[in-house]
């Protein structure tokens, strides 16, 4: 899906912000999509590397069907090469790696059936990058809607506007990792670019998809007060003050295993900056018990959802409104 002919047997992939121009027999930067005799072919369709029912809060999605379960699926590969990747064992591989042999073939129909069997209210395309297995996600999402199930992406937000337009009718929610507010960081650390992510986010909001944003705060990379303020102000000004911002604590992994964990003071600073920017909902993550993950009414301060980690112990919303002041709370309840 989403490719076009270029010169001769060369093709252009229009799925993600790289917009790779791929010569015959060569792969795109994801290592998953290949030009075979002038036709772009994906090698990850129905190649499931991970499948598991999760709390929706694990995505994290805090304003989308709280307390429910979501069948989480992934195929191998990614279009980014983040040095701090938390799922590098399955995302940083290509069709040339032996790990593909560990995949199981599960077609869309069976994924939808399994979600219902596991008593899930949604299917989440996550762990790796759903853009890379777009065709599987698209086909599954259409069937899921027919079966009364919702669909969620957990994504780096590098989809083109064309990809957003294609998936939006079947995509109910997305959590996008806004990894930094520096193009240099995106290029040097992630192998991507900032602008396509910002464009994707604005397209998602315009398409009516419920959006939440996560920033993994990495010491020495994106933890300055100036950069965190820029992120908060972009979310509030360009996406909406009701878009939840998850500020997540970094723990050393992959090529940055020796980097220290994010100080709690930095998370607290980011939280203050989010509130100063006018964001209604700012949540800490990866620091269970050390940060407040509950949802409060932005009008009167009433505690609405009592949440710790991936568990919701109380949901006091009444038809999506605060029980104390009757203010509507943005989300999909």
Is residue 12 predicted with pLDDT exceeding 90?
Answer: yes
For residues 31 and 92, membership in a common domain is answered with no
Q: Are residues 16 and 138 in the same domain?
A: no
Angle in degrees, CA 309, 86, 143, rounded to 5: 75
Q: Could you report how far apart the first and last alpha carbons of the chain are, in Å?
A: 32
CA distance 306 to 312: 6
Residue 252: the pLDDT is 86
Q: Answer yes or no: is 245 within a domain.
A: yes
Q: What is the C-alpha to C-alpha distance for residues 122 and 116, in angstroms, rounded to an integer?
A: 9
User: Span 190-206, mean pLDDT?
Assistant: 98
Does a structural domain hold residue 303? no
Closest CA to 164 of 198, 121, 128: 198
pLDDT band for position 257 (cuts 50, 70, 90): confident
- Are residues 15 and 109 both part of a single domain? no
pLDDT band at 86 (very low <50, low <70, confident <90, very high): confident
Q: Name the burial class of residue 325, with classes exposed (0-12), middle (13-18) and buried (19+) by CB atoms within 10 angstroms of its CB.
A: exposed
Average pLDDT, the chain: 95
Residue 328 lies in a domain: no
Query: Which residue in 270, 176, 276 sits closest to 218, CA to CA?
Result: 270
Average pLDDT over residues 308-324: 95
132 within a domain of the structure (yes/no): yes
Looking at residue 291, its pLDDT comes to: 87
The CATH number covering residue 128 comes to 3.20.20.70
pLDDT in tens, 121-130: 999 999 999 9
Total number of domains in the chain: 2
Band of the pLDDT at 40, cuts 50, 70, 90? very high
pTM of the model: 0.96
Q: How confident is the model at residue 89 (pLDDT cuts 50, 70, 90)?
A: confident
Cα gap 11→166, rounded to integer Å: 20
If asked whether residues 145 and 14 sit together in one domain, one would say: no
36 found inside a domain: yes
Residue 315, domain member (yes or no): no
The predicted pLDDT at position 96 comes to 60
Domain co-membership, 283 together with 173: yes
Tell me: do 144 and 237 sit in the same domain.
yes
**pLDDT at res. 202:** 98
Q: For residues 100 and 125, state if they share a domain.
A: yes
Mean pLDDT of 221-240: 98
Check whether residue 268 and residue 146 sit in a common domain: yes
Is pLDDT above 70 for 305? yes
Whether pLDDT at 91 is above 80: yes
Verify that 91 and 11 share a domain, yes or no. no
To the nearest whole percent, how much of the chain has pLDDT over 90?
Answer: 85
Asked if pLDDT for residue 288 goes beyond 90, the answer is no
What's the pLDDT score for residue 127?
A: 94
Asked whether the predicted pLDDT for residue 189 surpasses 70, the reply is yes
**Residues 105, 37 within the same domain:** no
State which residues form the domain around 200. 47-293
**Does residue 319 belong to any structural domain of this protein?**
no
Asked if residue 233 and residue 152 are part of one domain, the reply reads yes
Cα torsion 157, 162, 168, 174 to 10°: value is 0
**Structural domain contains residue 316:** no
157 and 221 housed in the same domain:
yes
């Amino acid at each position: 899906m989403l490719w076009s002919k270029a010169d001769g047997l060369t093709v252009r992939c229009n799925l993600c912000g790289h917009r790779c121009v791929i010569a015959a027999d060569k792969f795109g930067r994801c290592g998953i999509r290949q030009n075979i005799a002038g036709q772009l072919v994906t090698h990850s369709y129905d190649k499931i590397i991970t499948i598991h029912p999760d709390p929706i809060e694990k995505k994290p999605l805090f304003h989308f069907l709280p307390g429910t379960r979501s069948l989480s699926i992934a195929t191998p590969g990614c279009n980014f090469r983040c040095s701090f990747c938390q799922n590098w064992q399955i995302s940083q591989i290509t069709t040339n790696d032996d790990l593909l042999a560990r995949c199981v073939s599960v077609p869309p129909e069976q994924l939808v059936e399994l979600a219902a069997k596991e008593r899930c209210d949604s299917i989440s395309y996550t762990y790796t990058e759903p853009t890379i297995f777009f065709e599987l996600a698209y086909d599954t999402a259409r069937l899921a809607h027919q079966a009364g199930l919702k669909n969620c992406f957990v994504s780096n937000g590098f989809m083109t506007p064309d990809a957003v337009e294609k998936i939006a009718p079947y995509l109910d929610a997305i959590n996008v990792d806004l990894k930094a507010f520096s193009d240099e960081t995106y290029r040097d650390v992630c192998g991507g670019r900032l602008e396509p992510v910002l464009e994707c986010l604005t397209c998602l909001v315009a398409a009516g998809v419920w959006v939440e944003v996560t920033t993994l705060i990495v010491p020495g990379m994106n933890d300055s007060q100036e950069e965190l303020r820029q992120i908060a102000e972009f979310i509030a000004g360009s996406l909406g003050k009701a878009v939840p911002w998850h500020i997540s604590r970094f723990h050393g992994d992959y090529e940055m295993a020796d980097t220290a964990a994010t100080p709690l003071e930095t998370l607290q600073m980011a939280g203050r900056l989010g509130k100063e920017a006018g964001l209604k909902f700012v949540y800490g993550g990866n620091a269970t018990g050390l940060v407040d993950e509950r949802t409060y009414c932005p009008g009167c301060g009433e505690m609405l959802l009592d949440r710790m980690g991936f568990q919701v112990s109380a949901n006091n919303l009444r038809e999506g409104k605060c029980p104390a002041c009757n203010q509507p709370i943005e989300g999909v309840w």
